A and B are shown apart, each in its own frame.
Chain A
Amino acid sequence: MAGEKRFDVVGVVKDAGLTAFVIAALALPLAGFRLADSPTGLSIEPRMMWVVYAAAIAFFGRLAINVGQATLVPRYGEKFRTGSSHFSHALQRYMFWIGVMLIVGAVILPFSPIANRYVLDLMIVLLIYVMLGWGLNIVVGLAGLLDLGYVAFYAVGAYSYALLAEHFGLSFWICLPLAGIFSATFGIILGFPVLRLRGDYLAIVTLGFGEIIRVVLLNWYDLTKGPDGLSGIPRPSLFGMMEFTRRPKEGEVAFHQYFDIPYSSEHRFVFWYFLILALALITNFVAMRLRRLPIGRAWEALREDEIACRSLGINPTNTKLSAFAIGAMFAGFAGSFFATRQGFISPESFTFIESAIILAIVVLGGMGSQIGVVLAAFVLVLLPELIRELQEYRMLAFGGVMVLIMVWRPRGLLAFREPTMKLYPDKERGGEG
């Protein structure tokens, strides 16, 4: 019927107008006026055009969205929905192979034509975040414990390595497990006070813990050199055998000498790349394996219903502490890697924003989804790096993207849970709904 098909033009325009009005109101005080430095202190400079632009963008943007919803959705909405549901089913089924492809791609990347120091460096940063995401996934995704202070364990790992190397001259390979142990210990220390806390309370306390660690690192000058940070952190050698320098120390063989190839500073980068790739993959494999063991199931059961867990004889305290400890351990490993790669660390690298980014990676990716973490890390970490020109707007976009993805896909980009065991492995997933 003609009357039903035509959409409510007046309503749509009114709606857009209202949106524009609200945006104008929001923009007026902060965009419309600027605090400018002047000889007498601060003065106000009007900037009304910005308000007008903002209102205009809001008006037309909202209009476009409304019109789109009214015209496109009825026509293509159903097709889009079935299409995307088929897509995600297919994705689920081939998840394993997608993972394999990603790993293979990652391994051959350094030998491909597009690889250079810049690209490798970028990938190293990405892999650190992916590793941290996989580690935090154990605490947040599997055990359901809202940790907003994960960066603390990252910091403990980094500083442990730096201090052990400086004061005891231990090599990276010995410090790595030690850093993991230190971080795991801190994980347990954090775990104890929060055992009885739920949800957002737990979040705020873990956030506080992260801040406490950062402030301590900042102020305990004797130990950590405070804001000056620790520098001169030694680089790792190839399993203690070969160095990656141009001129090796007395009696030591350098990498390029051993293989009789000309020295290139790229060797070290490639080595770092494979090192972090290995660490990240180990994190992933261990997490996936633990998921199929009683401890992993206990984590997930705890997340679902703690009271039911107690009624089955599961010790909630031990279960929670183990999740914190193991998650922290992997953060510790990542921290050590970070320290050795940078050569210099300071409390600036371990702020709350880092915890937020890592948590965002886990949640945006879809909790429990390993590949989701990779995808989310790519979107949140790599994409901003690639759009270098808009560096100023990076954090703004970051916050905005977080909100947008959550509103669009509350359960994360790839949110399906793979059962840890199937009685009938060949059958399709069943069940209503």
Chain B
Amino acid sequence: MAVNAPIAPAARPRPVQRVRRHRWGTLLWSAARTPRGAIGLVLASFVVLVAVIGPFVAPNSPEALVTLAFGKPSGQFPLGGDFLGRDVLSRVLNGGWVLLIMAAIATAIGISGGAAAGVSAAYLRGVSDGIIMRAVDVILSFPQLVFALLLLSLLGPQLWLITITVGVSHAPQVARVLRSATLDVSERDFVKAAELQGMRPAKVMWKEILPNLVSPLMVETGLRLTYSIVIIAGLAFLGFGPPPPAATWGTMINENREGLSLNPWAVIVPALLIALLTIGTNTFTDAFARVAIGVDRRPQEAALIDDLGREPSE
């Protein structure tokens, strides 16, 4: 035979392009592209836009008495007047941003507090786990709104206090969810590898475990944001909100409900905006969660990942 030695192996080019990417960004983007996510995003963005731009485009001062009490909608006052004769449209446009900021801060407090408690309970186990989770159980045994009312009636209705109270009332639920997610992650070998490097527990949780909890964290954030909006608006309705004459959507519903038959728009519009906002954030969060756990991944991608992304483990 002419050939008696193998030909030298050809140079092997790297076939696969390897690129850096931010997974949670990718996930957010693919969530936004699902029908569910797109609807949620549009709804929520619309309300946010109203709240943010509103104060700059409002035709009248929200506190000026410019029309009749419960005046019917007219060309000059498209949504009519409220119980004191203030312009409803201007009050609606001005009344959103406080709610949004309070909801955002309360969510941040709830998520960070809950995550810290949940992750450390799960990772440290033992006594810490017992103490943290029993405290969580105690708070969980009160309905969230009742818990917030209890604290506020003890401490007084300050805006910052309302925000913190709502945030704290979220923490236990967040802690429960993240504890179970952490139990799973902390059993993985890379956590053990970090322990063998002599890493301090706090650093293990922060550097190794937390980055792997991005998906549950984002889902929780969306969910808690929705609840924050509902609870803060609800508290405002019950009288725990910015003091009069400030305009907020929750207060407006309360103030104007007596005139429901005279000028329903003064109640309907703020209620509708709150509803759209919560539906929007909740729908988008749902879309994100589905993408993150792979329900809504396009079937072809799913098959590729199942079939070829993993090797059989023994």
Q: Do A and B bind each other?
A: no
